[in-house]
Chain A
């Protein structure tokens, strides 16, 4: 589908969440994620008054929230009473505030005069308190934001907030979270919906990410930065798309979201032309299990053997609609299935446009249509499950079908790896916020006074790298984007050629990663040690990729240890050269001194990385001369 984005009135806003590289926001615990099993699990519940709950989370049901257990994994050494909600928060981490203000100033935003910490009610258990502590630090304004090829994108707000707990498991009756992540300072940067093209969103996200990294005070690595995308089109509805990790996917996600909304609008028009009304869908749920008494469908027989039943609703006038594609490979029926899963906890749905199928035969379909009272032009939706779950599922499906008559519902959606999106939950009602009375407001003036000068902008940092270290622009950006500027500058003191150093830090690591080596195990200390060994001449450049590979696999505890086991003496080298000359003796004699390249190539195959290339070259020359003289 070719889309004219101006015509559809595309509007996109970005929300970028970046973890800061300091201790936690409201206690002095370190901001580190753990891999090991928590030392203890604490069992808690959350509650909000019955009359408030509906307005906070339209999806949450009072009874189920109150009966849902939340298990919180604690670490005695890196989490404390604050994360466990057993003690009041400490004063706000001023370093985190200083970094946030620095970012705000770099983006031309206006800091507030006094920062007030708020409690934003969140009842999914991802915060032990039942709220997220968040503070508005700066506002946008006309002069704020970044330039893109398509024009300026203004900033809306910068908030400093606590990261939520890390979800380990989620079931309807309980959810498990780890508290290592809870409380890590998180900057939330929101733009105005000034973005008008999918590619522009990618550029804006990249530029904002680079400004965050230019501070040198943000965490790096998987999950430390997340993008949410707000997308709307004329006549459609605003969608909040969560969890985009890969910038390159942003344009495709937006494109496909526009396609989805356009398709939903055309479905609406089609239904209107068929004269389908919302009240046509107010049809009771029917138990149609009897249609499957001798079913050959495994799907059905398995469900029945679990004690489940088949429930269905007639969908008047929808024939052919449920099978319509909304996004590449995603049909309208799939949207309904997502609702059924989220609200009813069932596996999915079956609908009239895909049956017969799944082992369900034509007779069974006819029987179902009979039981539901379907006429020609009607479709139906079936759900397998226990009565209460199936009822919740079909109620939510019915609501979603009614929305199809109105157009596009407001939703919070989840980005999928192919660029499609899936329904996550309804857009939350307006946030319930009230002051965090345990934390005093912070006057920002003294903090602003401490910021003597802003860090150079990304472009300036890259230009400096290029000029000072004679790097190509591409390599310089890679170092910057990998957050390795400081590391690079430190390692350059060891006298290793700068381009080699740069390629070690970025290209070599990237190609190892492509080969699925666990490069996340490589620490700054490893690179530093390698640079030192290279500088002293105790390690050959050629060996560096292998050293990195072994270190990331944990085969050696240090580069030094690798070198000890792999170093080759000149005597050993001479033996290799002699063997090669012997093997190639007739060709060498034939070519004389011109055989150097061939011999060298053959020798290097054997000794690469074990001894410095220049030594090899010198010895090969000498040995070749000897060999030719001895003739």
Chain B
């Protein structure tokens, strides 16, 4: 028996044998309503019933003093018939690795429920253009909101990418929730060595159940980049503007979600996008990328990560014990300092103690744009003396993942310093031309 109600509502409804999606008649005073029982999200109160009327509208009815009669038991949601997929010899094989997000789901209008696709054919019902670009298949890994992902999830994704590329995929697409997409993209960049095909993360800021979804263009662009693009890196492909015209290809280790909700929330930091992708073609904007190599992939997987690393956002008045605790609890610390990479004066001796105890401390900037420079001011110089590792132009989150990666391979602090200061996947050493800082009112 399925009934998504709790507390009082559950007691009343289950005593009457009411289940989700049953057709019922409710009498309340002089009023009579007829409709379908809609499951109630758990965070709502336990006093109302949601009824979908024949007009399509949902209304909430307070359960006090109602008389309910079940007219017809609910039917399971019908799966739509979709034409089956045919393999096209002339198109490359590109799997879609599903990790979460809503790109592979649809709405059932009779109930309003969002249900997941079972087959890639259902996606092609919404984005038929994909069938002209790739032979697609689903690789379902898990279904998580991206805020719930951990380094273990990154490893699972890396392994799936490795397996698919080794199987002969010409590129892979990863459907991902957008909140932490740039973390995953960076993690993949460090874990996949000798990458010779595109690894494309894609998602949507407007879910695919709405006609205005950004997923259509994002998916077409992602498929194009994965199938035909010359870029063998872990990249994010999402809208480049509020228009539905083009997406940007952004290097995973340089990408950041800079807006809570806009379609073009992902922007590259400290470098231009690598390419612009329309429905029809890929236009390169940069020649600084690792090129695709033909033939079966020889990618290697190195997924050793030490998850016990902290990222501390420095604030004015940050107390000593906050940092001291982190030094005791974690095996490495990244600080998002202020300005050029500074931290309050009174924290510097503690940084020295932490580094002295063998825990590396990396300093980045919460400014995001620009590069840390610890040589300019007294505070910076003292931090260097205390033994911090300057993070250069790395984003704080990227430094976090890179430090996990470094600590996954060694605990020698000098070796870690060397790894952190060596460019591995384009995360370090960007050319800071005057065209990489994007205020919109210029």
Contact = CB atoms under 8 A, between A and B. Distances in A.
B56 A120 contact: yes
A141 B28 CA distance: 12
A84 B242 contact: yes
B56 A44 contact: no
A81 B242 CA distance: 10
B395 to A, nearest CB: 24
A431 B55 contact: yes
B212 A114 contact: no
Contacts of A130: 210-212
A46 B107 contact: no
A141 B31 contact: yes
B60 A48 contact: no
A54 B256 CA distance: 40
Interface string A422-459: 00000000111111000011010000000000000000
Contacts of A81: 261-262
Contact of B61 (A52, A88, A114, A121): A114
A159 B58 CA distance: 12
A43 B245 contact: yes
A119 B242 CA distance: 22
Contacts of A131: 210-211
Interface string A124-138: 000011110011100
Given A113-B60, A432-B109, A46 B44 contact: no
Nearest to A123: B211
B409 to A, nearest CB: 42
Contact of A113 (B61, B106, B209): B61
14 contacts: A42-B243, A49-B125, A52-B109, A86-B262, A86-B263, A113-B48, A114-B62, A115-B59, A116-B57, A131-B210, A135-B57, A136-B53, A136-B57, A434-B107
B244 A157 contact: no
A470 B263 CA distance: 61
A542 interface: no
B82 A42 contact: no
A370 interface: no
B112 interface: yes
B70 interface: no
Interface in B59-73: 59-62
Contact of B216 (A43, A47, A112, A116): A47
A91 to B, nearest CB: 14
A521 B31 CA distance: 48
B128 interface: yes
A118 B211 contact: no
B117 to A, nearest CB: 11
Given A43-B244, A112-B60, A136-B59, A433 B109 contact: yes
B261 A49 contact: no
Given A136-B53, A136-B57, A119 B244 contact: no
Contacts of B357: none
A85 B239 CA distance: 14
Contact of B211 (A129, A139, A430): A129
B91 to A, nearest CB: 20
A263 B188 CA distance: 72
A121 B57 contact: no
B59 A87 contact: no
A142 interface: yes
B30 to A, nearest CB: 7
Contacts of A47: 126-127, 211, 213, 216
Interface in A242-273: none
B211 A114 contact: no
A526 to B, nearest CB: 38
B292 interface: no
A619 B217 CA distance: 82
A406 interface: no
Given A50-B125, A51-B82, A45 B261 contact: no
B80 A114 contact: no
A44 B244 contact: yes
A434 B56 CA distance: 8
A110 interface: yes
Contacts of B82: 51
B32 to A, nearest CB: 9
A433 B212 contact: no
Interface string B96-123: 0000000000110100100000000000
Contact of A50 (B44, B128, B206): B128
B326 interface: no
A432 B125 contact: no
Contacts of B44: 440-441
A110 B28 CA distance: 11
Nearest to A156: B55
Contacts, number: 121
Given A113-B48, A430-B56, A432-B109, 7 more contacts: A44-B244, A47-B216, A51-B125, A113-B62, A116-B60, A441-B50, A441-B60
B260 interface: yes
Contacts of A433: 56-57, 109, 112
Between B38, B57, B261, the greatest number of chain A beta carbons within 10 A of the residue's beta carbon is seen for B57
Contacts of B211: 46-48, 121, 123, 129-131
A136 B419 CA distance: 61
Contacts of A84: 242
A159 B244 CA distance: 32
A411 B107 CA distance: 28
Nearest to B64: A113
Q: Which of B30, B45, B55, B216 is packed against the most chain A CB atoms within 10 Å?
A: B55
Interface in A181-214: none
Nearest to B53: A136
B328 to A, nearest CB: 40
Contacts of A134: 57
B31 A116 contact: no
Interface string B222-266: 000000000000000000001111000000000000001111000
A127 B84 CA distance: 33
Contacts of A123: 211
B260 A87 contact: yes
Interface in A393-407: none
B68 to A, nearest CB: 15
B260 A157 contact: no
B377 to A, nearest CB: 38
A308 to B, nearest CB: 29
A114 B48 contact: yes
A87 B262 CA distance: 6
A142 B210 contact: no
A157 B211 CA distance: 27
Nearest to A440: B44
Given A52-B109, A87-B260, A116-B58, A46 B212 contact: yes
A84 B212 CA distance: 10
A424 B31 CA distance: 37
Given A44-B244, A51-B125, A142-B30, A118 B261 contact: no
B245 A435 contact: no
Contacts of B60: 112-116, 441, 443
Nearest to B263: A86
Nearest to B31: A110
Contacts of A159: 57
A136 B58 CA distance: 8
Contact of B126 (A49, A87, A112): A49
Contacts of B206: 85, 129
Contacts of A48: 211
B284 to A, nearest CB: 23
Contacts of A87: 260-262
A88 B261 contact: yes
B48 to A, nearest CB: 5
A49 B108 CA distance: 12
Contacts of A441: 44, 48, 50, 60
A129 B216 contact: no
A48 B262 CA distance: 21
- Best-buried of A136, A139, A430, A435 by chain B (most CB within 10 Å): A435
Given A50-B125, A51-B125, A129-B210, A118 B58 contact: yes
